[in-house]
Amino acid sequence: QSALTQPASVSGSPGQSITISCTGTSSDVGSYNVVSWYQQHPGKGPKLMIYEGSKRPSGVSNRFSGSKSGNTASLTVSGLQAEDEADYYCCSYAGSNTLVFGGGTKLTVL
């Protein structure tokens, strides 16, 4: 299976909103409502931010939200804060008991 496609970088000013896309195919993102999103700060392990497309784990800020349209999932971060600056990865089930990640997006808070 091929990696999901994410933009290499996105940026926004504090207080603004940004959206990170995650494009797959009808064999992965388009077929299953299980996309998850992870935040990774430099030198740290990833942290689950969104699962099953739009659900937030306990403790994750409601400034983070997820959605899906067709073969593309999206992560929106509203009210940007300096601490949101990190790398973000999406992940989807791709059938046949396999999981696939996106290439990652670097979020810069200007």
Partner 1 sequence: QLQVQESGPGLVKPSETLSLTCTVSGDSISSSSYYWGWTRQPPGKGLEWIGSIYYSGSTYYNPSLKSRVTISLDTSKNQFSLKLSSVTAADTAVYYCSGSGSYYRFDHWGQGTLVTVSS
Pick out residues in 63-102 that bind partner 1 (CB under 8 A). Answer: 89, 91, 93, 96-102
Q: Of these, 34, 60, 63, 76, which contacts partner 1 (CB under 8 A)?
A: 34
- Does position 41 bind partner 1 by CB under 8 A? no
The residue within the footprint of partner 1, chosen from 13, 45, 62, 82 (CB under 8 A), is 45
- φ, ψ of residue 78 to 5 degrees: the values are -105, 160
From 11-19, 22-30, 38-46, 68-76, span contacting partner 1 (CB under 8 A): 38-46
C-beta separation of 90 from 101 below 8 A: yes
Q: Which of 3, 37, 33, 51 is nearest to 107 (CA)?
A: 37
Q: How far apart are CA 105 and CA 71, in angstroms?
A: 18
Considering only residues 4 through 33, tell me which ones interact with partner 1, judged by CB under 8 A: 32
> For residues 73 and 66, is the Cβ–Cβ distance under 8 A?
yes
- Alpha carbon distance 31, 81 (integer Å): 33
Where along the sequence are the contacts to partner 1 (CB under 8 A)? Answer: 1, 3, 32, 34, 36, 38, 44-48, 51-52, 57, 89, 91, 93, 96-104
